Each structure stands twice: as C-alpha cells, then as structure tokens.
C-alpha cells in the first residue's frame, strides 16, 4: 500500500468518483435501469448545460438566500461566541440550548418558517441561518478556547488589557477553527436555502426542483442536484481562498 | 503539600542570579509569583524596597517556551510589549530596529516564527522580553529546549547581550554548568516543597570565555553543587 501514499490527496477520491460514474453510465446504457427512472451521468450533464440559461433566475435567488443567510449567521455567531467566551455564565446558559437547537430537524422547522414569514426570501434565509449558525459558533468557541494558557499568562504579566488579549492572541488563535466552521457552514448554506424553497415560493432552485419533480422530469431533478453540488463546492473553495489570504502564516508552515 | 516553603533571596542591580533545582521543585512557580500571575499565599515580593506582591507588569518575564505569536512576523512579535502599552506599530518598529542586530535577528525580522530555528526563536523571545524594558528580567530555562551546541552558543551570546544592555537577571535552569557559566550567584533549591539549600557565589572573572568551563576552579564549583543537589 506504500506507493499509494505518494499520490496527491485529490487523485484517489477523483478516481473513485470517476469509477462510480462510469459504472452508473454503463448500467443505464446497458438498459439494466430504465432511463426515465435513472438518467445517465452524461444525460444529466447535457440537460444541465441546456437548462442553465432558463433557470439562471432560480440559481440567482438560491445563491442570494444562501449568501445573505451565511453572512448573517457569521455575524450572529461571532457576536455570540465572543460574548460567551467573555461571560462564563452566558456560556453555561447557552451552550446546551445550542445543542438542542441542532436536534430539531430542519424539515420540521422549514414549513413553520414558511407559515410565519411568508413565501418570499425571508423564511429561506432563516433556514440558512439556522443550519449555518451552529458549526460556526461551536468551532469559533473551541478556537477561542485553544489559546495556550502560558501565552495568556505572559500577556497578563505584560499588563495586557482584555481587548489586547483578545485582538492580539485569542482571536488570531481561533481563526483556524473559525474557518473550519465556516467551510462546513458554506457547504450547508445552499442546501439550506433549497430546503426552504421546497416549502413554496416563486423562485429558487428548490422551487424549480419541486416543479420538475412533479412533472417526473428526473433528468432535470438530477441536473438541479448537480448545480447544488457545484454551487456548494464553489462556496467552499471561496472560503478556502479567503482563509489562504487571511492566514499567511499557515502558508509559511507548509 | 505546599509547592514552596520558606524561600527567601535577593537580586542586586546588574547582577545575574540563578535558581537551580530539580524539575518540578517549584522554580517556575516562584517566577510566576514574582511576575504576579499566580497568587501568593504567604510571603512578599519587594522591588526597590517597595512591596510588589501580586502586581503584574513589574518585571520582564520570559518562559521556557518561546511563546511567539505564530501569526505575527518576528519584528511584530518583538514589539508586542510596546503594542500592549498602546504604541502604534510604526513607532514601536522604529524603536526595536536598533536592537535587531545585537539580538542576531537582522535579516529575519519579516519572517514568521515557523521559519526560524529554535535558537533564533529564543533570541526573538528574549528581545521581546527586553522590549518590555523593566530593570529586572526573569528567564525561565530559556535554553532548555535547545540542542547542546546551540545552547552553548546561546549562553555565550546571552552574556554578550547582557554586558551591553545592562540588566538584572533572575535565571532558572536545572543545568549546573549553565548556571555557573552565567551567574554571579546561585541558589540551590531542594525537591518539592522548594527550600533554599545553599547560596553559592561564583567568583569567576568577567567577561567569561567559553573555555572557562574546563578550568579547575569551574569544575570545583560544579562538583560542589553536584554533590549538594543529589
Ligand atoms: N497551576 C498549578 N496548580 C497546581 N499545581 C501546580 C501548578 N503548576 C505547577 N504545579 C505543581 O507545582 C510543582 C512545581 O511546578 P513548577 O514550578 O513548574 O516546577 P519547576 O519549574 O521547578 O519544574 C509541580 O509539582 C507541579 O506539578
Ligand atoms: Mg519550570
């Protein structure tokens, strides 16, 4: 197995996906599964390219909801995590609630949001916030906690203010975890928006998916899934790029 | 069981005094008490005759770990105490630049700590400690993590630097040779709970050459402390 270790991190999963896709293609082409039940990967890509010009609006709506939700979730998480980090009582009070909030299935909350906030963007954004909030807060809290106790003492011995301890040490020390949470949140955000849209609305990938599903256009359902995957990966990569730019010392380590 | 029991010692101006004792006997705890970051249950700390027990910010303190901030370049690490005092990065950098050469950091100021060797990192940490500019400097096993050759170079270098910048140094180590080579006086501590077993004055001439560690006088002191520690 040793020689596998020399192959790049991405080669093996890509190869694996490729094998699955070829297998899938052969099953459909060989007529083992009928095309109207399972479209082949090739068909999905062709349909996807064909429909993109028509559903640009839908994609844009979903993307907007995801991005707005993500940004709001980041802002809320940072504020809450910093407060919790500074006030132990608050941390003790809120931490269990955070976990409980994650045990409620989104599929249950999404229709409630639709009932409370109507069929515009707001309920979808709420779903995005809900799914993105938790990974960011948890990771950021862990990051803020990760500061070396000796470094903390050293700064105290220099008479550093709470603000200086936070801005010079705690916050930068937490950035790695923060971005880990952000990447998870980014990948959740698109699907969060889509789930919100399944509950009804005028525009969005989720709305489009509901329509094509009802007309049994399975190839278009799969094409939508493909678009969701691509958008999610795109957001993930953007966060990764921001992290690369924001943490130049990580590059130095490598 | 108390960590420290009845430990009493002094440090004169521009003097180099070392506390030597087995690992875990409470040396770092003594330093933490002087620096005001752990509470003192009994006893007092006086600086210039003033009771400073439990006060932070009265001494420059360096840990065994370099504790450099990985996210800051070397120069910005060394100015940390100035930033904490409220100076701007520009002002502070201007102040530290004249010292970079003396501390052997020239050419490394815009690198990140990860790009530096262990010895260079300790130099940066020492410069940061110096920039806090208190008359008393506490050094807790600053070379403990270095290999023997680097450690020996750093000891000679430290003597040179102290010669130039004039500081009163309180030093901790469990390396007898290091203690004798660097110090004017040595306090030998016992196992936990720490008590002072003996005070040894080192009357070796200064400036000290590296070869001094091979002289009979040096070895006589070494033998004496060695027997006393065990
Ligand atoms: N924060 C702490 N709480 C309780 N015990 C501690 C703490 N820090 C150190 N100790 C104990 O105090 C003793 C002395 O520690 P320390 O001062 O670090 O020793 P040294 O620096 O001489 O190796 C050790 O036995 C250690 O386990
Ligand atoms: Mg120690």
Q: Is the peptide bond before B207 cis (omega within 30 degrees of 0)?
A: yes
**Do the Cβ atoms of A252 and B132 come within 8 Å?**
no
> Are residues A201 and A243 located together in one domain of the fold?
yes
> Are residues A59 and A3 located together in one domain of the fold?
no
* Predicted TM-score (pTM) of this structure: 0.85
Average pLDDT over residues A155-178: 94
> Are residues A7 and A90 located together in one domain of the fold?
no
**Mean pLDDT value across chain A:** 91
> Are residues A74 and A186 located together in one domain of the fold?
yes
Q: Are strands B16-20 and B46-47 parallel, antiparallel or unpaired?
A: unpaired
> Are residues A22 and A50 located together in one domain of the fold?
no
Residue A114: CATH number of its domain? 1.10.3720.10
The residue whose C-alpha atom lies closest to atom 5 belonging to ligand 1 is B3
Top-level CATH class of B1-59+138-230? Answer: alpha beta
Report the alpha-carbon angle B167-B220-B190, nearest 5.
65
Query: What spacing in Å lies between the alpha carbon of B62 and ligand 1's midpoint?
Result: 17
Cβ(A192)–Cβ(A127) under 8 Å?
Answer: yes
> Are residues A24 and A112 located together in one domain of the fold?
no
Percent of chain A scoring above 90 in pLDDT: 75
| pLDDT tens per residue across all 230 residues of chain B | 788 888 999 999 999 999 999 988 999 999 999 999 999 988 999 999 999 999 999 999 999 899 999 999 999 999 999 999 999 999 999 999 999 999 999 999 999 999 999 999 999 999 999 999 889 999 999 999 899 999 999 999 999 999 888 899 999 998 999 999 999 999 999 988 888 999 999 999 988 999 999 999 999 999 999 998 87
The answer on pLDDT for A229 being more than 70 is yes
- Three-class SS of residue A185? helix
The answer on pLDDT for A1 being more than 50 is no
- How many angstroms separate the CA atoms of B144 and A201, rounded? 66
B70 lies within 8 A of chain A by CB: yes
Inter-helix orientation angle A41-86/A205-214, to 10°: 140
Query: What spacing in Å lies between the alpha carbon of B32 and ligand 2's midpoint?
Result: 10
The torsion angles phi and psi of B20, rounded to 5 degrees, stand at: -120, 140
Domains in chain B: boundaries: 1-59+138-230, 69-132
**Do the Cβ atoms of B80 and A175 come within 8 Å?**
no
Give the pLDDT band (50/70/90) at residue A99.
Answer: confident
> Are residues A93 and A107 located together in one domain of the fold?
yes
The residue whose C-alpha atom lies closest to atom 21 belonging to ligand 1 is B28
Structure tokens belonging to residue B95? 């102040």
B57 contacts in chain A (CB < 8 Å): 157-159
Question: Considering its fold, how many domains does chain A have in total?
Answer: 2
Residue among B163, B169, B166 at smallest CA distance from B142? B169
Which alpha helices (H) appear in chain B, and where do they start and end? 27-34, 74-78, 80-84, 89-100, 118-131, 148-165, 176-182, 216-229
Structural domain that includes position A63: 39-253
> Are residues A55 and A174 located together in one domain of the fold?
yes
A153 contacts in chain B (CB < 8 Å): 32, 37
The answer on pLDDT for A112 being more than 80 is yes
- How many angstroms separate the CA atoms of A152 and A134, rounded? 27
User: In three state form, how does the secondary structure of B19-67 look?
Assistant: EECCCCCCHHHHHHHHCCCCCCCCCCCEECCEECCCCCCCCEEECCCCC
Q: Is A200 left (phi over 0), alpha (psi -120 to 50) or beta?
A: left
């Amino acid at each position: 197995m040793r020689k596998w270790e020399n192959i790049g991190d991405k080669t093996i999963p890509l190869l694996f996906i490729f094998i699955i896709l070829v297998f899938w293609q052969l099953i459909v082409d060989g007529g083992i599964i009928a095309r109207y039940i399972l479209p082949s990967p090739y068909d999905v890509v062709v349909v996807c390219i064909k429909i993109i010009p028509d559903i640009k609006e839908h994609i844009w709506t979903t993307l907007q909801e995801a991005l707005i939700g993500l940004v709001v979730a980041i802002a809320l998480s940072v504020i809450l995590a910093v407060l919790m980090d500074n006030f132990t009582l608050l941390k003790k009070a809120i931490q269990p609630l955070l976990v409980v909030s994650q045990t409620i299935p989104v599929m249950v909350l999404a229709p409630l949001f639709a009932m409370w906030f109507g069929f515009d963007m707001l309920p979808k954004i709420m779903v995005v916030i809900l799914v993105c909030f938790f990974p960011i807060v948890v990771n950021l809290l862990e990051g803020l906690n990760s500061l070396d106790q000796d470094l903390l003492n050293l700064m105290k011995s220099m008479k550093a203010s709470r603000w200086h301890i936070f801005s010079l040490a705690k916050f930068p020390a937490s950035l790695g975890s923060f971005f880990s949470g952000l990447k998870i949140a980014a990948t959740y955000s698109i699907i969060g928006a889509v789930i919100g849209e399944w509950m009804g609305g005028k525009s969005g990938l989720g709305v489009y998916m509901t329509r094509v599903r009802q007309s049994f256009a399975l190839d278009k359902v799969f094409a939508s899934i493909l678009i969701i995957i691509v958008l999610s990966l795109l957001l993930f990569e953007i966060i990764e790029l921001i992290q690369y730019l924001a943490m130049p010392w990580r590059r130095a380590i490598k | 069981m108390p960590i420290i029991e009845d430990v009493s010692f002094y440090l004169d101006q521009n003097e180099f005094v070392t506390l030597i004792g087995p690992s875990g006997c409470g040396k770092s705890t003594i330093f933490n008490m002087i620096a005001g970051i752990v509470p003192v249950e009994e006893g007092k700390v006086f600086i210039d005759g003033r009771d400073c027990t439990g006060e932070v910010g009265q001494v420059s303190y360096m840990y065994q770990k370099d504790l450099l901030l990985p996210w800051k370049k070397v120069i910005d690490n060394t100015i940390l105490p100035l930033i904490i005092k409220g100076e701007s990065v520009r002002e502070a950098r201007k102040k530290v630049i004249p010292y970079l050469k003396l501390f052997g950091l020239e050419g490394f100021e815009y690198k990140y700590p990860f790009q530096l060797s262990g010895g260079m990192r300790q130099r940066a940490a020492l410069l940061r400690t110096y920039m806090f500019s208190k008359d008393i400097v506490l050094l807790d096993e600053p070379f403990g993590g270095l290999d023997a050759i680097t450690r020996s170079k750093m000891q000679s270098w430290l003597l040179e630097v102290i010669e130039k910048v004039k500081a009163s140094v309180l030093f901790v180590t469990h390396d007898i040779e290091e203690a004798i080579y660097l110090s004017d006086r040595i306090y030998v501590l016992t196992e936990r709970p720490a008590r002072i077993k003996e005070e040894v004055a080192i009357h070796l001439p200064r400036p000290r050459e590296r070869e001094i560690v091979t002289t009979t006088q040096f070895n006589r002191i070494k033998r004496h402390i060695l027997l006393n520690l065990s």
